[in-house]
Structures are given as structure tokens and as C-alpha cells.
Amino acid sequence: MKKRLFTGLQPSGDLHIGNYYGALKPFVDMYEAYNSFLMIADYHALTSLRDSEALHQNTINIVKDYLAVGVDPEKVVIFRQSDNPDHTELGWILNCMVTVPFLMQGHAYKDKVAKGIEPNAGLFTYPMLMAADILLYDTDVVPVGEDQRQHLEYTREAVGKFNRAYGDVLKEPETVILDGVGVVPGTDGQKMSKSYKNTIPLFGTTEEVEKSVMHIVTDSNGERPENVYAIHRLLKSAEELDPIYETYKGKYGDLKKMLAADLETMIAPMRERRNAITDEQVRAVLANGVIKAREVSGSVLEQVRTAIGIAL
């Protein structure tokens, strides 16, 4: 039998190329080799998004995005986190397994607070809801970038604490680190993130993509513009790019326009496919997916409820 793979992405805004190379493309490349579950993590998005209309539309959009980049809904279970209450129930149970000092060690939490994001309780306990997301499906494999490694360590820690208290109930997942995709640089050189407002839109218009590219921060020493080059390397090999960057040394505007053109070549076919997907098709995919998801999660949660003593 195929191993079970689980992944998810927040519908917290329009996707950018960091999401594509960090999550979407790796998933497309590997999901058919597994019994795959793809979750739209809308409850996680509440840690930073306070716009109900935006959350609703973002959820529709992110499913379209996955379908547009090549995910076949007949070969993967696509569902919405909020459609399955098993997630919040197990998330609460796992919160009771770990300590506040343990959660205070979270790199992602500390980084986001340092960037000015509100330190709400949901953001603080985010790792335990993420652990619940994974554990509900007896997950074997969780593909993540290097920057997400700690979240999987938190999941394994929660498994250990639960199983030591109640017996061998929860399955410890395997982390698959996706080399080279952990951190995709943004237009300012930091990790590309909607929170940092340094993104290049994945399905933006030609003009929107070019505008973002032209805002990439460069130095003024006349050498290779590293932020431009780092993003360009996602698209082409060093063997292809190095002679071009040597020829156009110091000509930052020209190099940015070349990057924008290469991004458009990649994005245009996907954008066309995405524009053909209707909201009704998305709703049908999610409605079908959550039925399949709950068949698995319900069985796991019932074992958990029995173990802790609340199944009557």
C-alpha cells in the first residue's frame, strides 16, 4: 500500500512564487506516489486574517491555484480544515499535553511577533493545531521546507507525550525535508512572505509581476544583484544564468526585465488554466474531499477519545 502524505496551505492571501516553489510544485511532483491529503488551512489563517470576505474568497482561490498547477482532485483528498471539526478537538487535546515554556520556544511565533504581528493565543498554540492536522490522518510523510522542520519536531513531541500518557495511539510522522525550497527570497532579500509584503504574485497579471520584480532590492556596488539572481535561479540553472549576469553586470534594470519575462513564461499557462475553473467546481471538490477526510480522521479521533476516557 502507498504511504500516506499530508500537507496544507493557509488561504491568507493571494499566492506568490514562494508558495509555488516551497509548497505547490513539490506537492505536484510527489503526490501521486502517495495516498495524499491536501488541506486548506483556513483556521490557521485566523491567526493573522480578520477579513471574512477575504478569507472566503482566498479559500476558493487557493483550490483553484492547486488545480491550475496540475493537482488532480481524483488522485488526492482536497478538503477544508474548518469543514472537519476533528481538527479543533484534537488540537485542544494536544494543547493539554504540552507546556507554555515548550511553545515559547517556537521560532515561527517569535519571528512573527518580532515583525509586528499580534501575539494572539492562536498564533502561540499554532503548532498543536498543526500537529492535530497531521496526526488525524495516520500520516506517514509530511513534506516541508527546512524552515518548517521545528513544527514537525513539535508534532513528534506531542505524539511522545500523548503516547506515554495513554498508550501507543498516535502515529509519529516522518519529515521529508524538501532541499532547496525551504526559503524562497522575497523582493527585499528576506523570506518571501505575505506578512513581510515582499512577494511576487503567482497568478498576477504580466504588469503586476513585472512591477513586483522591479521593486527587488539591489545594492549599488555594480556586482551581481544577488536578490534578483536568487529568484532567477528558481527558474534556470547557474550554467544558463551566470554568463548573462556577467554580460549585464551592473545593468540591474535589464536583468530584472529578463527575470520578469522568464516568470511570465512560467506563469502564463497556469494562469490560463486557473481562469477556466469555476467557484462551483471548487465547492464540489471540497464537498467530496471532506467526506473522504472524515472517514479517516473520525477513526483516529475515536481511538484518542477512548484512550483519554471521554468515549462512552
Q: Is 191 assigned a catalytic role?
A: yes
| Active-site residue identified among 25, 194, 251, 257 | 194
Fill in the DSSP letter of residue 144: E
- Alpha-carbon distance of 152 to 94, in angstroms, equals 14
Which of 17, 39, 31 is closest to 143 using CA atoms? 31
Q: Is 3 assigned a catalytic role?
A: no
Q: Using alpha carbons only, how large is the chain's radius of gyration in Å?
A: 21
Task: Give the up-direction half-sphere exposure of residue 253: CA atoms within 13 A in the CB hemisphere.
Answer: 0
- Contact predicate 16/202, CB 8 Å: yes
40: β partners: 9, 80
| Active-site residue identified among 3, 75, 171, 191 | 191
DSSP-based three-state secondary structure for 167: coil
Q: Is 211 assigned a catalytic role?
A: no
Which of 283, 269, 267, 290 is closest to 14 using CA atoms? 267
Query: Can you read off the three cell numbers belonging to residue 37?
Result: 491529503
Count CB neighbours of 262 within 10 A: 18
- Alpha-carbon distance of 174 to 160, in angstroms, equals 14
Is beta strand 76-80 parallel, antiparallel or unpaired with respect to 141-144?
unpaired
DSSP-based three-state secondary structure for 59: helix
- Alpha-carbon distance of 254 to 279, in angstroms, equals 39
Sign (positive or negative) of CA dihedral 292, 293, 294, 300: positive
| Active-site residue identified among 2, 112, 249, 292 | 112
List, by residue number, the catalytic residues: 112, 191, 194
